[in-house]
Amino acid sequence: MARATGKDHARINLDIWGDDDWLDLTPAAQHLYFVLWTSPQLSYCGTGDWRPAKIAAKAKGWTPAQVEAAAAELSRRLFLIIDTDTEEFLLRSWAKHDGLWRTPNMAVSMANARADLASRTLRGVFVFEVLKLKKRNPESTSWTREAVVKMLSQAAVDPAELASFTPAVTLTVTPASTPPLTPDLTPPPTLNPTVGVNPTANPGPTPAPATPPAPFSKGGNQVGERHQSVQPDSNAPPSPFCPDHPNGTTRACRACGIAGATRRDWDAAQAAAAGAAAERLRSLIPSCPDCRGDGWVIGSDGTALDPGVKCWHPKLREMADANA
C-alpha cells in the first residue's frame, strides 16, 4: 500500500545530522537511504520493493552492485532491513520519525500496510519498532484502535538478531583511475647470451636439435611454460575483476571473486609495506641532521629558523628507502 499523502514531499528529521551512527555512514549509504526514504512508492509502514537494478536507474552511473554494497552497510547499522526472498525492504526507524502513528486514523493505515507485506520477518520487525513507540508514548489513543491492537499482538522480531544483508556480488575495491602500464610483450632480442643482437654476416649451419621441440601453445609458448618476457608490474594494482567483467558484474562470478581476493591481498601488502616504511622513518627521526629530532629545520647557526619550517626529513627518507 503506497502512501497517499506526502506525494510531493517527504518528512526528514534534521536531527539526523546529530546522530553519530548516521555520520559514520559513507556517502553512498546515506544517498541510498535518502533515495528509499523519498520514494513515492514507500508504504505507510516504511516498506517498499527491493529491486537493486531499478533503484540504480535513479542515478547516472549507479550500478546494482553499488546499490547492494550501500544496502549492506545500512543493514549492518540497522538502518535498513531487507528480505531477499520476498524482495522487500523496511526502513527500520521510518515509523518513529515520520510520526504517522500520532494520528489514530494514520496508525490504522500503518497497520494495514504492514498486513500487506509478504515478508514475515519485516512484519515482525515493524511490530517490534511500534511496540517501542507505544512504550515511550503510552498515552496515545492510536494504540486503542482495533487494527493497531491486533497488529501489536503479533510476533515481534528484534532486528539486532537478524543476519545482515549480503550482496549477491561483493563490490571490491574500485580500480585505480589510471590503468596500470601494459606489460612489455616484446620478446627479448637475444635468447642466448653468447650471441649478439645482430647475427654474424655468415653464420655457420644451425645444428639439428638433439630432441624434437616440445609442442607449442596457441600464443607461441611451449606447453606448460610461461612466457619469460611477460613480468607483472608489482607496483601496479591488479584488477579486482576478471577479464570477462572489467567493470564488475551483478552475477555470481568465481573468477571475479578470486580477482577481488587477490586485489585485497595486494592492498593489504601495500598498506603493510607503507606502515613498515613509516615505522623505519620514525625510528630514524632522533638522528635527523636537518632538525636534530625536534621536527623543525635547524639553520647553519644551529638554531631553528624564524619563522619555523617543519622538517620532512628528506635525508632520513633516503636512508629509510635504502634500508627497505
Q: Which has the minimum average pLDDT: 108-112, 162-166, 318-322? A: 318-322
271/256 Cα distance (integer angstroms): 22
* The predicted structure's pLDDT at residue 216: 42
Question: Which of 161, 187, 218 is the last residue before a domain boundary?
Answer: 161
Q: Is residue 42 part of a domain?
A: yes
Give the chain's mean pLDDT.
76
The confidence band for 126, taking pLDDT boundaries of 50, 70 and 90, is: very high
- Of 156 and 226, the one with more pLDDT: 156
At 204, the pLDDT band (50, 70, 90 cuts) reads low
In a domain, residue 20? The reply is yes
Within-domain flag for 86:
yes
**Residue 266 maps to a domain:** no
- Report the percent of the chain where pLDDT is more than 70: 73
Task: Supply the pLDDT for residue 320.
Answer: 67
Instruction: Please check whether residue 198 lies inside any domain of the structure.
Output: no
The parent domain of residue 307 ranges over: 283-322
**74 belongs to a structural domain:** yes
pLDDT tens digits for range 211-270? 544 444 444 444 444 444 444 455 688 988 888 888 888 777 888 888 888 888 878 888
Is 219 contained in some domain?
A: no
Q: pLDDT tens digits, residue range 49-70?
A: 999 999 999 999 999 999 999 9
50 within some domain: yes
**pLDDT on residue 8:** 61
Record the pTM: 0.50
Give 14's pLDDT tier (boundaries 50, 70, 90): confident
Q: Which sign does the torsion angle of CA 264, 267, 269, 272 carry?
A: negative
Q: Is the peptide bond before 307 cis (omega within 30 degrees of 0)?
A: yes
**pLDDT at residue 298, rounded to an integer:** 81
Q: How many domains does the chain divide into?
A: 2
- Note the pLDDT of residue 102: 74
